[in-house]
């Protein structure tokens, strides 16, 4: 085996060894870091007028699909941040009836009986 053949084999082996590392780096670059709680709260409150956002509860979905409270509120409204996995911004705020509707939807159940239909005042992307 000549020196140039050995050099070519070493170079090819080095290039093949680096391939998984570049693939892993590309995968890591493709997935942005998870937003902080402060960023999630800011996103959620963007869906409501300032007067509603000021005292609204803020919840976000955890990795298992459950809800976690990011900030407790006092005015009966609940806001959720944008879901970065869906196209376009979609933060939302809702009152108690709207929240019951969301829970029913997430659990694949019919909406609560005897409640007013969900409308732009109950479940909205801008109240």
Residues 20 and 56 occupy one common structural domain: no
Which band of pLDDT confidence, cut at 50, 70 and 90, is reported for residue 122?
A: very low
- Between 105 and 72, the more confident residue is 72
- pLDDT of residue 118 exceeding 70, the answer is no
Phi, psi of 21 (to 5 degrees): -65, -40
d(CA 107, CA 30): 31
Residues 21 and 72 occupy one common structural domain: no
* Total of domains in the chain: 2
Which band of pLDDT confidence, cut at 50, 70 and 90, is reported for residue 19?
A: very low
Residues 1 and 50 occupy one common structural domain: no
Structural domain including 65 reads: 37-124
CB distance 80 to 59 below 8 Å: yes
Residues 43 and 27 occupy one common structural domain: no
Residues 20 and 54 occupy one common structural domain: no
Which band of pLDDT confidence, cut at 50, 70 and 90, is reported for residue 116?
A: low
pTM higher than 0.85 for the full model? Answer: no
């Amino acid at each position: 085996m000549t020196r140039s053949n050995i050099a070519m084999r070493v170079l090819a082996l080095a290039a093949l060894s680096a391939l998984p590392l570049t693939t892993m780096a590309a995968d890591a670059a493709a997935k942005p870091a998870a937003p902080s709680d402060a960023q999630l709260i800011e996103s959620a409150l963007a869906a409501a007028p300032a007067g509603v956002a000021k005292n609204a509860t803020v919840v976000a979905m955890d990795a298992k699909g459950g809800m976690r409270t990011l900030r407790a509120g006092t005015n009966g409204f609940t806001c959720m941040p944008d879901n970065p996995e869906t196209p376009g911004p979609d933060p939302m705020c809702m009152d108690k009836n709207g929240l019951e509707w969301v829970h029913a939807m997430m659990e694949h159940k019919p909406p609560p009986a005897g409640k007013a239909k969900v409308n732009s005042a109950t479940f909205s992307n801008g109240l």
